[in-house]
Amino acid sequence: MKRLDRLSNCNCSDRLDREAEQYKSIYFTPDSLAEAKKAATSLCRLVTDVVTNKLDNGFAIIRPPGHHAEPGMAGGYCVINNIAVAAAYAREKMNVKKILIVDWDVHHGNGTQSIFINDADVLYFSVHRYHGGNFFPFLRSSGPNTVGTGEGEGYNMNVGWNSKGMGDNEYLQVWDKILMPIAKEYQPELILVSAGFDAAQDDMGECHVTPDGFAKLTRQLMTLADGKVVCALEGGYVRRVLCNCVENVVKTLLDRNSVKRTAVMEEELSNQDGSLLTRMAGATVTTTTTNMERVINSSAAKSIRDTISAHQKYWKCLQRDDAIG
């Protein structure tokens, strides 16, 4: 960071390029560090307003993104890990005790994972393309068996897709089978979302999540932490697609009746067979807790089961007989 501070005062493109060559998928301009600092600090201001109830929730449309950045290590277009800075700020300055970070970017947030890998007060949850470590950031540690270390064991969760083409039903099943039960058991006080949209239909991630799908994921998160949800933009590279996805998420955050409608739907469906979230997604096939393959492909179902298996011993909600499905 100190080197970047010094380079910020220089217009020598050769020196900036040499600095960037030390990292994966990064480039620098004289303004890079200043812009990265603005992104992180603006997110902290938004978190302050949400935690102090000046705002119900929020979406920080910031760049550069952050979730690949590790301490002292830029990468993947990321200079400062915005979401990690915001989490640390909320804990140190706002006295927030427990934070859930949800990362739905198509790439694993290796930086965020490394920062909180041994921290039980931050639950990191990522769903991303994995392919056995053969998808960016090309790390085996992006898989389901990386569960955290030390005091943070059980508080790092990865659902890693091993095939492309995952869409709304697959992501909603992840929410239904893993994220929402665990979040309700964990009881976070603040939800931070690494909101990348490169898993969207027609973006570069070769997945098929729709703008409405992202809205449904957001609506579920709004039932947690008294609705204190703060999203921060990560990936998303096709402007037309990105615009539609962000718009749908923001509309959901602004809809005060959204959570009430979700609660009513939960109550109506609670005594019926089938997965709540799959029904909410508009699936035409009824699914039971023991037969995910009726709604999602077998590779996705295996990825979900692998994560459940890795975390069953840590979470009571995953220890019931039908948890694996």
The dihedrals phi and psi of 282, each to the nearest 5 degrees, come to 90, 20
Mark whether 208 is an active-site residue: no
**Which residues touch 104 (CB under 8 Å, ≥6 apart)?**
126, 127, 128, 171, 193, 194, 195, 196, 199, 209, 214, 217
Tallying the residues shown for the chain, one arrives at: 325
- How many angstroms separate the first and last alpha carbons of the chain? 47
How far apart (Å, rounded) are the C-alpha atoms in residues 181 and 176?
7
Q: Find the catalytic residue in 67, 68, 107, 311.
A: 68
Question: What is the set of active-site residues?
Answer: 68
